[in-house]
Amino acid sequence: MSSILDTFAFAKRIPATPSIGSTTVTKPDHIHLSFGFAAPDLFPIELLSQSAADAVTLYGRKALQYSGSGGPGKVLHWIQQRSLVHGIQADSNQILVTYGSTQGIDLATRILVDPGDHVWVESPSFFSALQAFRTAEAHITSFPIDGDGVRVDLIEEALLEAKRNNRPIPKLFYTMPTYHNPGGVTLSLERRKRLAHLAETYNFFILEDDAYSELNFTGDRYPALYTLIPQRVIYLNTFSKIIGPGLRLGWVIADSRVIEKMRLLNLGGSIGVFTQEILAELLQRLPFQEHIDRLIAHYRRQRDVLAAALRASFGDHVTFHLPEGGFYIWLTFRKDVNTSAFVQAAADLGVSFVDGKSFFVNPEGYHHARLCFSYVNEEQLVRGVQHMADAYFDYIGRTVS
Amino acid sequence: MSSILDTFAFAKRIPATPSIGSTTVTKPDHIHLSFGFAAPDLFPIELLSQSAADAVTLYGRKALQYSGSGGPGKVLHWIQQRSLVHGIQADSNQILVTYGSTQGIDLATRILVDPGDHVWVESPSFFSALQAFRTAEAHITSFPIDGDGVRVDLIEEALLEAKRNNRPIPKLFYTMPTYHNPGGVTLSLERRKRLAHLAETYNFFILEDDAYSELNFTGDRYPALYTLIPQRVIYLNTFSKIIGPGLRLGWVIADSRVIEKMRLLNLGGSIGVFTQEILAELLQRLPFQEHIDRLIAHYRRQRDVLAAALRASFGDHVTFHLPEGGFYIWLTFRKDVNTSAFVQAAADLGVSFVDGKSFFVNPEGYHHARLCFSYVNEEQLVRGVQHMADAYFDYIGRTVS
Ligand SMILES: Cc1ncc(COP(=O)(O)O)c(C=O)c1O
Ligand SMILES: Cc1ncc(COP(=O)(O)O)c(C=O)c1O
């Protein structure tokens, strides 16, 4: 049996083994600074429980059919209204509800990218997105970030050079302009405008992943790239960071013809209609702005605790940009440090983080690490950083001259 | 703006417009004999409402995270146990929970089919499956069915011929062996054995879509193809016909290496974990065999009502195979009848059905039509068939000599 399957030719797009991923450890008292999970204590459990029961009782007979009852329409309407708060205007045929933004990334990639097409990304970038591009057999090129987000000047140079040498322009550029995962940085207004201009001039799509945009710690707002050049942006967002990832619901906003093509790939199937019924009930009951304000206050405090712990335990051995929102602090060590070399030692001491190389297309980024402040509590943040520092100082004592 | 998008090169795999689909009409008293929907009165609404509330209350904090709490494990275990009843043994790494079997079809296609690869199907076949194969840019060949299911002898001839002429063997053969949609037929035991033998001999995968297998009206059981040659079958099933399609939950059973490759395409995302928590609670409370027996009794009665109505209204103008299970009766008219020609007239009289051509790869099957007996009530079945007959007799009075 095994020999038969070994000789069977799977589709070329399927890699033999997963090439990217994050560390996972599951000791009971393990401190997961690796998990980009929401804080479970902030889930609106009670409201959700009532919403679930009522959604089924009130609308069950229709809600269980393929297209659901009123829920999907209500969720769509909520997305439309909330988008307006962020300056995004979208008709209902410009919105597609998806199984999380992970599916949005996959659909956008599949409608745009043929094998060999070029996709440009940030370095570092989000690993599930990199995996989607690899699976589509894209040719991936990456551009560094700094404190103001991705280096749009380098993208411009590369585009000029591609044009000059008759080399391919990317089909899409994937970016997390606001509260970058893992970088923690936000793209400046000036760069946003420039990037929008480039997308228009060179005729490529921007895939704007805005998963963390609601988690704004400063009150400063930057316009979504979508608002700057809607016909050139496929905008992604998700309920994962504002309600809970287990719902597996997110959305895409784009030109109606882009949305139409995405629907074709869904083979006519509606998305999580039952879950949408429940979510619609919840959104009707939940005072959303209050809820978000509570999340923001919590995550901002957590960020501050993590930042202070890092300064206390690592001193000038690490630098980082203090994120204005989101879930992550991105550490930069000295160039000769390899964080992969002490990730296991740290795990043995009871803390996990994600080593830098996991976020890059090419073999690089070894002297970085991503810490997530969203999931564990304050005491664990402090203790986790201490464990990590113990592993780190032990490592450099042994190996770095 | 429109001109920019018009010139943008979408991926080649994306067709310009949907090429297949079913009629949908939404007048309030319209009789939908086209919809392959479950009977809403048989949904276990009350149990589901309690299950939903309790699942959230008991497990909410974990259930809302990416991997869920115990629910996904419990659903997997339920699938394993229920499969045993049907003679299917599978380890947990051989089972993948999916967003309905529609996603199962898509995943199987994407892991196996490169552009230009050959996929063989039945004619008629399920339109979402045909769409998945087209989107994968497969070369599709179809084989007719008769009262005993697909003509395996013709498949064997084609394989022999392909081998003799050094032409490509299919990557996969997609089949609905039990209570075929739309054909209503079931593959005989003899043909099952022969087909399994062919898959082994010629080294292709059988994609076995078993969506209706629980809805068995006769008590006669046929072994799943999976049980005959597990290493050559990707087996698909779904909660859509036994609980409700709105859940969007189904499953794949296959070799663990097939499952592993499917997981890669999911980009690490877990499937509907929140819905799985609720479903797990429901499955714990629901006396499943009683529930299925109730479904079977209902659908069998509905089938009989539809069959009697057809005989009464159409006389010898149609023939059909009385299905032993499932949702559909497949009508065959005289060869010169084109059911597409009176589908709109029937809709104007208040009944919808699916015209034959929608189920075929090539332009053929015009003298067929699919009626679904699962969704509407008995009175509507009778009235719907009368309306359809009115439209038909008016049509042949005008056009068929
Ligand atoms: C940048 C980014 N995009 C998308 C996702 C995935 O979100 P979803 O749960 O909506 O699939 C994440 C989650 O970690 C993320 O960090
Ligand atoms: C043969 C067949 N396969 C699959 C499906 C889709 O089922 P699901 O709701 O699980 O995606 C259907 C539904 O009509 C079907 O008839």
Mutate to test the pocket of ligand 2, among B22, B98, B101 (most ligand atoms within 8 A of CB): B101
Calpha distance B391→B96 (Å, rounded) = 45
pLDDT for the residue numbered B318: 98
Nearest CB among A53, A135, A265 relative to B135 is that of A265
pLDDT band at B2 (very low <50, low <70, confident <90, very high): very low
In the predicted structure, residue B239 carries a pLDDT above the cut 80: yes
Measure the CA–CA gap between B7 and B1, rounded to whole angstroms: 10
What pLDDT, on a 0 to 100 scale, did the predictor assign at position A267?
A: 72
Element containing residue B143 per DSSP (H, E): strand B139-146
Instruction: Give the confidence band of B18 by pLDDT, cuts at 50, 70, 90.
Output: very low
Backbone angles phi, psi at B120, to 5 degrees: -110, 145
What mean pLDDT is predicted for residues A240-260? 95
Beta bridge partners of B96: B252
CA–CA gap between residue B59 and residue B274 (Å, rounded): 10
Cβ neighbour number for residue A179 with a 10 Å cutoff:
24
A209 lines ligand 1 (CB under 6 A): yes
pLDDT of residue A400: 59
β-bridge pairing B328-332 and A354-355: unpaired
Sorted by where each begins, the domain ranges of chain B are 24-43+290-400, 46-285
Listed range (A219-228, A257-266, B154-163, B278-287) with the worst mean pLDDT: A257-266
CA–CA distance, B307 with B258 (Å, rounded to integer): 41
The bound ligand whose nearest atom lies closest to the alpha carbon of B178 is 2
**Separation of alpha carbons A308 and B162, rounded Å:** 70
Does the structure show a pLDDT above 90 at A189?
Answer: yes
Tell me the pLDDT tens digit for each residue of B21-60: 444 455 678 999 998 888 888 999 999 999 999 999 998 8
Q: Which CATH class is domain A24-43+290-400?
A: alpha beta
Q: What is the pLDDT of residue A1?
A: 43
Using pLDDT thresholds of 50, 70 and 90, give the confidence band for residue B340.
Answer: very high
B61 touches A246 (CB < 8 A):
no
Binding pocket residue ranges, ligand 2, CB within 6 Å: A 269; B 36, 100-102, 126, 176, 181, 209, 211, 238, 240, 245, 250
Contact B277 A246 (CB under 8 A): yes
Nearest residue to B124 via CA among B342, B329, B344, B384: B329
Alpha-carbon distance values, A369 to A142, A180, B209, B385 (Å): 18, 14, 45, 67
The DSSP code sequence of B67-82 is: T-SSHHHHHHHHHHHH
Instruction: Give the CA radius of gyration of chain B.
Output: 22
For the ranges A225-234, A257-266, B58-67, which has the lowest average pLDDT?
Answer: B58-67
pLDDT digits (tens, 9 = 90+) for A190-207: 999 999 999 999 999 999
pLDDT of residue B400: 59
CATH number of A46-285: 3.40.640.10
Contact of A127 with A22, CB cutoff 8 Å: yes
Beta bridge partners of A206: A173, A233
* pLDDT(A266) > 60: yes
pLDDT digits (tens, 9 = 90+) for B128-155: 999 999 999 999 999 999 999 999 999 9
Which tokens go with B228?
């005959």
- Measured between beta carbons, the chain B residues lying within 8 angstroms of A249 are none
Mean of pLDDT values over B161-170: 96
Query: Which residues in chain B touch residue A135, judged by CB atoms under 8 angstroms apart?
Result: 264-265, 267
User: What ipTM is given for this predicted complex?
Assistant: 0.92
A227-236 burial code (b ≥16 CB/10 A, e <16): bbbbbbbbbb
Q: How far apart are CA B13 and CA A399, in angstroms?
A: 51
**Cβ neighbours of A247 in B, within 8 Å:** 64, 274
CA of B218 to the centre of ligand 2 (A): 22
Would you call A43 an interface residue with chain B, using a CB distance cutoff of 8 Å? yes
Angstrom distance (rounded) from CA B177 to CA B190: 12
Write the CB contacts of B258 (distance below 8 Å, at least 6 apart in sequence): A5, B108, B111, B234, B252
Q: How confident is the model at residue A10 (pLDDT cuts 50, 70, 90)?
A: confident
DSSP string covering A302-348: HHHHHHHHHHHHHGGG-B----SBSSEEEEE--TT--GGGSHHHHHH
- Find all residues with CB under 8 Å of B137, minimum gap 6, and list them: B12, B13, B113, B115, B116
Q: How far is the CA of B30 from the centre of ligand 1 (A)?
A: 42
